Amino acid sequence: MARIIIYTRKAPVLVKDSRGVTVAAICMCGLSKKYPYCDGSHIKTQDEEEGKIYIYDAQGTRIGEIPEEKAKKLLGTENPRTV
Protein backbone atom coordinates (compact mmCIF):
# COMPACT_ATOMS: atom_id res chain seq x y z
CA MET A 1 0.00 0.00 0.00
CA ALA A 2 1.27 3.46 -0.84
CA ARG A 3 -0.12 6.96 -1.17
CA ILE A 4 0.83 10.34 -2.56
CA ILE A 5 0.48 13.34 -0.27
CA ILE A 6 1.11 16.83 -1.63
CA TYR A 7 2.52 19.30 0.88
CA THR A 8 2.61 22.94 -0.20
CA ARG A 9 3.88 24.72 2.90
CA LYS A 10 7.53 25.57 3.42
CA ALA A 11 7.56 26.34 7.14
CA PRO A 12 6.17 24.98 10.41
CA VAL A 13 3.11 26.16 12.30
CA LEU A 14 4.24 27.61 15.61
CA VAL A 15 2.15 26.71 18.65
CA LYS A 16 2.26 29.40 21.30
CA ASP A 17 1.16 29.44 24.92
CA SER A 18 -1.04 32.11 26.50
CA ARG A 19 2.02 34.39 26.93
CA GLY A 20 2.89 34.13 23.24
CA VAL A 21 5.92 31.92 23.84
CA THR A 22 6.48 29.27 21.15
CA VAL A 23 6.10 25.83 22.74
CA ALA A 24 6.11 23.64 19.62
CA ALA A 25 6.76 23.82 15.89
CA ILE A 26 4.56 21.50 13.86
CA CYS A 27 5.94 20.27 10.53
CA MET A 28 3.85 21.36 7.57
CA CYS A 29 6.34 20.44 4.82
CA GLY A 30 6.18 16.66 5.42
CA LEU A 31 9.96 16.16 5.43
CA SER A 32 10.72 16.12 9.16
CA LYS A 33 12.34 12.98 10.58
CA LYS A 34 10.71 13.93 13.91
CA TYR A 35 7.20 14.32 12.43
CA PRO A 36 4.86 15.79 13.59
CA TYR A 37 7.49 18.15 14.98
CA CYS A 38 9.65 20.35 12.77
CA ASP A 39 13.34 19.41 12.63
CA GLY A 40 14.40 22.12 10.17
CA SER A 41 14.19 19.87 7.10
CA HIS A 42 11.85 22.40 5.48
CA ILE A 43 15.00 24.26 4.40
CA LYS A 44 15.11 21.76 1.51
CA THR A 45 11.89 23.29 0.11
CA GLN A 46 13.07 26.89 -0.02
CA ASP A 47 14.16 26.77 -3.69
CA GLU A 48 11.01 25.02 -4.92
CA GLU A 49 9.31 26.91 -7.75
CA GLU A 50 5.62 27.54 -8.36
CA GLY A 51 4.13 25.32 -11.07
CA LYS A 52 6.23 22.25 -10.22
CA ILE A 53 5.67 19.33 -7.89
CA TYR A 54 8.80 17.97 -6.24
CA ILE A 55 9.33 14.34 -5.28
CA TYR A 56 11.28 13.30 -2.18
CA ASP A 57 12.26 9.80 -1.10
CA ALA A 58 11.67 8.33 2.37
CA GLN A 59 15.00 9.75 3.56
CA GLY A 60 13.96 13.28 2.56
CA THR A 61 16.23 13.53 -0.47
CA ARG A 62 14.77 15.29 -3.49
CA ILE A 63 14.71 12.77 -6.31
CA GLY A 64 12.77 14.58 -9.00
CA GLU A 65 10.20 17.08 -10.09
CA ILE A 66 7.33 17.19 -12.55
CA PRO A 67 5.29 20.08 -13.96
CA GLU A 68 2.12 20.65 -11.90
CA GLU A 69 -0.14 20.26 -14.96
CA LYS A 70 1.37 16.85 -15.73
CA ALA A 71 0.92 15.82 -12.09
CA LYS A 72 -2.75 16.78 -12.19
CA LYS A 73 -3.23 14.60 -15.28
CA LEU A 74 -1.41 11.68 -13.64
CA LEU A 75 -3.52 12.05 -10.50
CA GLY A 76 -6.68 12.40 -12.53
CA THR A 77 -7.81 15.62 -10.84
CA GLU A 78 -7.46 19.35 -11.32
CA ASN A 79 -7.52 19.85 -7.57
CA PRO A 80 -5.34 17.30 -5.78
CA ARG A 81 -5.77 17.40 -2.04
CA THR A 82 -2.90 19.25 -0.48
CA VAL A 83 -1.61 19.69 3.06
Of 22-30, 48-56, 62-70, 74-82: span binding ligand FES (CB under 6 A): 22-30
* Binds ligand FES by CB under 6 A, chosen from 1, 5, 12, 79: 12
Task: Give residues 27-46 in contact with ligand FES (rule: CB under 6 A).
Answer: 27-29, 31-32, 38-42
Within 8 A by CB and 6+ apart from 83, the residues are 5, 6, 7, 8, 9, 28, 30
Q: For residue 21, give the amino acid letter.
A: V
56/37 Cα distance (integer angstroms): 18
Q: Bridge partners of 13? A: 26
48/11 Cα distance (integer angstroms): 13
Minimum distance between the CB of residue 24 and ligand FES, rounded to whole angstroms? 12
Asked if 48 touches ligand FES (CB under 6 A), the answer is no
Where on the chain is the footprint of ligand FES (CB under 6 A)? Answer: 11-12, 27-29, 31-32, 38-42
